[in-house]
Amino acid sequence: MPSPCFERVVVVLHRPENPVNIGAVVRAMKNMGFGRLRLVQPALYTPADLLRIAHHAEDVIERIEHFDALDDALADAHFVVGTAAIHHPEHRTTNDLRALAPELIQRAAGDNVALLFGPEADGLDRSALDRCHLIVTIPTNPAYPALNLAQSVLLFLYELRIAVQCGGEAPLTHPAHATQAELERLFQLGEEALHAIDFFKYNPAAVMRTLRQIAYRAELRPDEVALLLAIARQMIRAVSRRDVSTS
């Protein structure tokens, strides 16, 4: 029987380009006992397209969720793991999926964990990578590093399943973490506040990317996000009052 924590692991495909690959991902999920798949702006397909690849996986196909925007697909996630074929030094990364798997299973005992995979041709773009708390690269032949989409999903889910079978389901003892939707609101309002005080001297995107990584490493609680939001709002109000008084 699938582990209860598997229900808190969500596979998210960002703009998948080929129904055959979507079907192969469904098959991999069915093989490993996972059932939650979210598609963001997928190529057009029918359930029959997927069933030709994923025989007897009607239950997984019926549960597929569709989204127009990546932020909506990740909104309820507490921890987002992205995937990449190459190293991204500006992000927290690991190439040891086997060592990571027990931690992800422990997180999934209490939090929602999203596994994010990018389009087949180019992988996750910079904006999508910015939504990731951690990026995993799978050690492959350096001369040919890019895995097929379904192969990558299968490797991830296999390691998670093995981690459960090795007794790695004990939940981490930690307070509730903020969701990705709460963090995105913080990043949006925080950027507005920094613009209001003329903090940015160059490349706001690079500064915000660094601040995202700091927040992800801190694993903020909802009440901490609320405090930071209140500070950002007060900064914006203070600048607005100053501008009115000097006009």
Residue 139 tokens read as: 């050690």
Residue 62 tokens read as: 């019926």
List phi, psi (to 5°) of 73. Answer: -70, -25
The pLDDT tens digits for 122-152 are 899 999 999 999 999 988 888 888 889 999 9
How far apart CA 64 and CA 69 sit, in angstroms, is 15
Model confidence at 171: pLDDT above 60: no
Burial class, 183, CB count within 10 angstroms (exposed 0-12 / middle 13-18 / buried 19+): buried
Over range 231-247, report the average pLDDT: 86
Domain ranges of the chain: 4-165, 180-246
DSSP lists the bridge partners of residue 135 as 82, 93
Please report which helix (H) or strand (E) contains residue 197, including its range.
none
Among 60, 12, 16, residue whose Cα is nearest residue 38: 12
Among 14, 18, 73, residue whose Cα is nearest residue 45: 18
At residue 235, the pLDDT reads 95
- The CATH label, of 1.10.8, 3.30.70, 1.10.1060, 3.40.50, for the domain at 180-246 is 1.10.8
At residue 34, the pLDDT reads 96
At residue 176, the pLDDT reads 84
Burial annotation 133-149 (CB, 10 A radius, 16+ → b, else e): bbbbbbeeeeeeeebeb
Could you tell me the fold of the domain covering 4-165? Alpha/beta knot (3.40.1280)
At residue 207, the pLDDT reads 95
Among 103, 37, 114, residue whose Cα is nearest residue 71: 114
**Any residues with CB less than 8 A from the CB of 61 and at least 6 apart, and which?**
26, 47, 50, 51, 54
The share of the chain scoring above pLDDT 90, in percent, equals 80
